[in-house]
Amino acid sequence: MRGIDPEDPKPFAVLHPTTINENVVHAEYAVRGKLYNAAVERAQSGKKVIYTNVGNPHAVGQKPITFFRQVLALITYPEMMNNPAVLASFPPDVVERARLYISKIPGGTGAYQDSRGNEFIRHEIADFLTRRDGYPGSVNELFMTDGASQAIGLCLLLTIRGRFDGILTPIPQYPLYSATIEIRNGTSCGYYLDEANNWGLSIAELSRSVAESRAKGIQPRAIVIINPGNPTGQCLTEENMQEIVRYCKQERLVIFADEVYQTNVYLPSQKFVSFRKVILDMGREAEDVELLSFHTVSKGAVGECGRRGAYVECLNIHPAVKDELYKVMSTNLSSNVDGQIMMGLMVNPPRVGDPSYPLYKEETEGILGSLARRAEMISSAFNKLEGVTSNPVEGALYCYPQIRIPPKAVAAAAEKGYAADVLYCLELLDETGICTVPGSGFGQADGTYHLRTTILPPEEDFEGIIKSFSDFHRKFLRKYEGRAFL
Amino acid sequence: MRGIDPEDPKPFAVLHPTTINENVVHAEYAVRGKLYNAAVERAQSGKKVIYTNVGNPHAVGQKPITFFRQVLALITYPEMMNNPAVLASFPPDVVERARLYISKIPGGTGAYQDSRGNEFIRHEIADFLTRRDGYPGSVNELFMTDGASQAIGLCLLLTIRGRFDGILTPIPQYPLYSATIEIRNGTSCGYYLDEANNWGLSIAELSRSVAESRAKGIQPRAIVIINPGNPTGQCLTEENMQEIVRYCKQERLVIFADEVYQTNVYLPSQKFVSFRKVILDMGREAEDVELLSFHTVSKGAVGECGRRGAYVECLNIHPAVKDELYKVMSTNLSSNVDGQIMMGLMVNPPRVGDPSYPLYKEETEGILGSLARRAEMISSAFNKLEGVTSNPVEGALYCYPQIRIPPKAVAAAAEKGYAADVLYCLELLDETGICTVPGSGFGQADGTYHLRTTILPPEEDFEGIIKSFSDFHRKFLRKYEGRAFL
């Protein structure tokens, strides 16, 4: 029998760390892990923290889109529209849109909607899909959730039956996947993205992972593809996506397409293409390939993370499986209605000729243009540092440079019981207040070290942050390479 | 090998109803089941439906509290406060509160907050708990979620390790519990509430259920108590709660206290007492009894279901288990911020002397007073019908009468392959448009039949609804008892 730890505050608790669901205990989620906790502690002690650990644009100064907030404010308190002075302060298309939603949302924002989301808003999303892909969307394929994380969790819940069901996940990956797969008692089957090849996704590597999993008795059932990539920022080419679809058909893999960064594409030569469009374009060749694609209001120029507005769209999913998804969502009754409305606004924004269009255009282009400049600035800056290399940030909100960490630092970290990139990120935080996430939280090839930083700090602060980062990096190298301080 | 169903639209789908997570397939959730689907179909064909199936107050005409919506509108679009005419249209305490939240919510409502919820708002909740119970609340015990259903799901996720972990759940119960326990792969251990004794909870019956479970090798780890009851509407007495706490200490059961209806108590002789207060009042005798209590903005006079604002408060929970809860919530980043603000407003409403207080008082007392009258009206009306009996609706938002269904109707239902109360509710819907939920969705003693209706339809419609229900009931009895139509 195990002895009782004298430091355990509640050794006899019914819910004890040793007696709760061990899948939860084993799950890891570094985005809010050791570094985040250290940053919060630092902030509480009154020191400055520059949060670049989470893609949370408004928290670091990105402004909401005016039209969206105006409509939402009127819907929140519709009595404002009875006051002529207040009414006159809003553009007419704002008032019109608010009235439209009020007429289409039974019971208003305070009422549960259909568990899949309000039907009118799902129509707006379906129309958006039709315009985006050239193939008609359908309300019956759409399920709205409190954030894309919830949608992903529900789809994994349906897919995973136990340890021998595998989900192919990229390395590096956004750790929501590994954590949720662990919590659902499934197995993550990692496939490496090729850093030397601009974080490319090769079919050979997928085959390797699938074969290795099967050899262990694990059946891969689905593949997670994050496009544009998180933390890697790469955008898949259409040809690559077609190969992937062919492979998924051949190997019977459901595609989980995490397309939440679809508006965050920065290189003028690139254009986001959805897996939905690729599959439908391929016709017979891709027939019946099952797709679950995720989108959100949290990213893009909208950045409304706090709304938790998102959806999953099904393609080629068995009707009875959609019924099961509907049922399981019904136990939660409804996603939050403000999040649903924000999604409706995002996919159906002001159009040319609308009074709010010029400002909407200015705001969204301003945000996306600035993000594109920041994406370029940050990867260039990393590439100028000794021992640091970064692929271009083609999309999403992150830069994921590789950092050569001196052996002395690796040893120092090992002595403290953590990975070398954790040491690097902790010292960076300590020295500069910049809060990043170490690469070990996302996964990386053995012997390589990375960190993830968002590209979100305000553009005017960028030069300062880059300088502060660069100074720290040089100092870190000197410290652990044993050179004298200059 | 099983043959292929020729009617199966996708017999070879990877995600097939026979190859997905069977816990999901087995889970049942009647609140949005057969009856709800029939009602939606009816509504789509242009016929009237009176939705009394879900506690969704705003959907059936309950108005939001003005102060809450005013504050939320200003926070949603703070630029309104720069326009003097708009600013002047809001009471000063609304403006003050909006400015306070804006200063306390980093990044505003568009930003992820701490995964446990915004700290200032958790302070407001802690203060509310201090006032309510006379024992200081703490932000570190509070975790905010997108609706109480999510909080309950997370706590069950932590508690349940597998089939041999049992959760004691009331019969009848709100089916979120049985569905979620099934999805989490645990076992529901039913304990009957005593209908003849005003839906009382007896320790003898708990003991019976615990003993029966243990005899099957199932270890009950927790007990769900819904107080005021859903669907039963009873309020527990303090003495009864003390007995329950003693029993939980003795049998090592964590208490899941579903206290979402704590403001919905209608009899002047009764007062809601929280399990937290009962445990803390009991001192040494209840030392270390682990409590998870749930509250929401969806019920009470607020009724803001569409916000998905809720929290779970921990008492005597192991710190490392709270850390696990925090981690698992972090994978979802943050609950929606509007829901958090609504919770802050609900627990910290206008006070005597504030400009908004008189209207706030009028609105909340108006809603709760009317609900109390409707609670009384509906149970009286049921008790006047032949073969129908209802306990008084002491609290919550539902009436759960027992309905004697003639044997001929039971047989007719069996022939159609469903329970007799489903037949009754379907015919009620067909005849009157009233959408209820059959008792078989909540559980009931063998051979008894019930239905759940909310008490939410507008007071002015009540007489008509009751008449229409009564007419249907008499007709149903005549039809199946074979009497001639009058």
- Give yes or no for B303 touching A (CB within 8 A): yes
Q: How many residues does chain A have?
A: 486
Question: Residue A482's pLDDT is what?
Answer: 67
Q: Does A284 fall in a domain?
A: yes
Q: Does A440 fall in a domain?
A: yes
Of all residues in chain B, the one with the smallest CA distance to A11 is: B318
Instruction: Tell me the two tokens of residue A101.
Output: 């939603």
Q: Which residues pair with B437 in a beta bridge?
A: B452
A83 vs B57: CA distance, rounded Å? 26
Total domain count, chain A: 2
**Can you tell me the mean pLDDT for B415-442?**
94
Q: Does B367 fall in a domain?
A: no
Per run of 10 residues, the mean pLDDT along chain A (length 486 residues) is 81 95 91 84 92 90 97 98 95 98 97 96 98 98 97 98 97 94 96 94 97 97 97 95 98 98 92 97 97 97 97 98 95 95 98 98 96 94 94 94 95 93 96 94 93 92 93 94 56
pLDDT tops 50 at residue B327: yes
Q: How many CB atoms lie within 10 A of CB B25?
A: 18
**Can you tell me the mean pLDDT for B192-206?**
95
Question: Residue B2's pLDDT is what?
Answer: 61
Of all residues in chain A, the one with the smallest CA distance to B72 is: A76
Q: Does A85 fall in a domain?
A: no
Range of the domain at A385: 22-61+364-481
Contact pairs from chain A to chain B, CB under 8 Å: 293
Contacts of B158 in chain A (CB under 8 A): 15, 20-21, 24
In a shared domain, residues A342 and A374: no
Q: How many residues does chain B have?
A: 486
Torsion of CA A61, A65, A70, A76, to 10 degrees: -70
In a shared domain, residues A53 and A163: no
Determine, for residues A333 and B24 on separate chains, whether the beta-carbon distance falls below 8 Å: no
A287 vs B450: CA distance, rounded Å? 48
The phi-psi region of residue B62 (left if phi > 0; otherwise alpha if psi is between -120 and 50; otherwise beta) is beta
Of B20, B179, B337, the CB nearest to A321: B20
Of all residues in chain A, the one with the smallest CA distance to B176 is: A331
Q: Does B105 fall in a domain?
A: no
Of B33 and A38, the structure prediction assigns the larger pLDDT to: A38
Of all residues in chain B, the one with the smallest CA distance to A149 is: B332
pLDDT tops 70 at residue B485: no
Distances (CA, A) of B241 to A345, B202, B204: 48, 10, 14
**Can you tell me the mean pLDDT for B199-213?**
97
Determine, for residues A22 and B161 on separate chains, whether the beta-carbon distance falls below 8 Å: yes
End residue of a domain, out of B301, B331, B347: B347
For residue A455, the domain's CATH number is 3.90.1150.10
- Give yes or no for A2 touching B (CB within 8 A): no
Q: What is the largest CA-CA distance in chain B?
A: 76
B177 vs B182: CA distance, rounded Å? 8
- Give yes or no for B150 touching A (CB within 8 A): yes
Q: How many CB atoms lie within 10 A of CB A370?
A: 17
Q: Does B120 fall in a domain?
A: yes
In a shared domain, residues B225 and B300: yes
The secondary structure of residue B313, as a DSSP letter, is: E
Find how far residue B414's CA is from the centre of its chain: 30
Q: Which helix (H) or strand (E) holds A388?
A: strand A388-389
Residues B40-95 pLDDT 10s:
899 999 999 998 988 999 998 999 999 999 999 999 999 999 999 999 999 999 99
Most A CBs within 10 Å: which of B15, B146, B297, as the mutation test of the A interface?
B15
Work out the burial of residue B368: count CB atoms within 10 Å of its CB; fewer than 13 is exposed, 13-18 middle, 19 or more buried. middle
In a shared domain, residues A281 and A368: no
pLDDT band at residue B482, thresholds of 50, 70 and 90? low
Determine, for residues B306 and A110 on separate chains, whether the beta-carbon distance falls below 8 Å: yes
Calculate how close chain B gets to A316, using CA atoms only, in Å. Answer: 8
Q: Which residues pair with B244 in a beta bridge?
A: none
pLDDT band at residue B484, thresholds of 50, 70 and 90? very low
Q: Does B420 fall in a domain?
A: yes
Question: Residue B483's pLDDT is what?
Answer: 54
End residue of a domain, out of B297, B332, B347: B347
Determine, for residues B253 and A14 on separate chains, whether the beta-carbon distance falls below 8 Å: yes
Contacts of A303 in chain B (CB under 8 A): 110
Give the list of residues 6+ apart from residue A446 with CB closer than 8 angstroms, or none: none
Calculate how close chain A gets to B204, using CA atoms only, in Å. Answer: 22
Give me Rg for the CA atoms of chain A: 24
Contacts of A160 in chain B (CB under 8 A): 21
- Give yes or no for B204 touching A (CB within 8 A): no
Calculate how close chain B gets to A363, using CA atoms only, in Å. Answer: 15
Of B290 and A40, the structure prediction assigns the larger pLDDT to: B290
Question: Residue B258's pLDDT is what?
Answer: 98
In a shared domain, residues B334 and B381: no
The strand pair at A437-438 and A451-454 is best described as antiparallel
- Give yes or no for A14 touching B (CB within 8 A): yes
Complex ipTM value: 0.95
In a shared domain, residues B339 and B391: no
Calculate how close chain B gets to A195, using CA atoms only, in Å. Answer: 26
In a shared domain, residues A201 and A341: yes
For residue A450, give the 3-state DSSP assignment: strand
Most B CBs within 10 Å: which of A41, A56, A67, A77, as the mutation test of the B interface?
A77
**Residues B85/A85, Cβ–Cβ less than 8 Å:** yes
For residue B277, the domain's CATH number is 3.40.640.10
- Give yes or no for B26 touching A (CB within 8 A): no
Determine, for residues A318 and B157 on separate chains, whether the beta-carbon distance falls below 8 Å: no
The residue type of A28 is: E
- Give yes or no for B452 touching A (CB within 8 A): no
- Give yes or no for B402 touching A (CB within 8 A): no
Of all residues in chain A, the one with the smallest CA distance to B28 is: A327
Work out the burial of residue A117: count CB atoms within 10 Å of its CB; fewer than 13 is exposed, 13-18 middle, 19 or more buried. buried
B441 vs B414: CA distance, rounded Å? 16
Give the mean pLDDT of chain B.
94
Of all residues in chain B, the one with the smallest CA distance to A153 is: B332
A311 vs A276: CA distance, rounded Å? 14
- Give yes or no for B64 touching A (CB within 8 A): yes
Question: Residue A484's pLDDT is what?
Answer: 43
Of A69, A89, A306, the CB nearest to B336: A306
Determine, for residues B77 and A77 on separate chains, whether the beta-carbon distance falls below 8 Å: no
Determine, for residues A332 and B153 on separate chains, whether the beta-carbon distance falls below 8 Å: yes
In a shared domain, residues A163 and A279: yes
Question: Residue B210's pLDDT is what?
Answer: 98
**Residues B277/B227, Cβ–Cβ less than 8 Å:** no
CB-facing half-sphere around the CA of A29: CA atoms within 13 A: 26
**Residues A396/A449, Cβ–Cβ less than 8 Å:** no
**Among residues 320-379 of chain B, which lie with CB inside 8 Å of chain A?**
320-321, 324, 327-328, 330-339
Find how far residue B273's CA is from the centre of its chain: 17
Q: Does A83 fall in a domain?
A: no
**Residues B390/B399, Cβ–Cβ less than 8 Å:** yes
Of A109, A175, A321, the CB nearest to B16: A321
Strands (E), B337-467: 388-389, 398-399, 402-403, 434-435, 437-438, 451-454
pLDDT band at residue B486, thresholds of 50, 70 and 90? very low
In a shared domain, residues A152 and A221: yes
**Residues B363/B65, Cβ–Cβ less than 8 Å:** yes
For residue B219, give the 3-state DSSP assignment: strand
Residues B111-165 pLDDT 10s:
999 999 999 999 999 999 999 999 999 999 999 999 999 999 999 999 999 999 9
Question: Vertex B320, ends B318 and B323: CA angle to 5°?
Answer: 115
Determine, for residues A77 and B79 on separate chains, whether the beta-carbon distance falls below 8 Å: no
Of all residues in chain A, the one with the smallest CA distance to B317 is: A15
In a shared domain, residues B146 and B201: yes
Instruction: Tell me the two tokens of residue A258.
Output: 């995490």
Question: Vertex B150, ends B148 and B155: CA angle to 5°?
Answer: 95
In a shared domain, residues B315 and B391: no
In a shared domain, residues B308 and B388: no
Of A89, A304, A331, the CB nearest to B179: A331
Contacts of A321 in chain B (CB under 8 A): 13, 15-17, 20
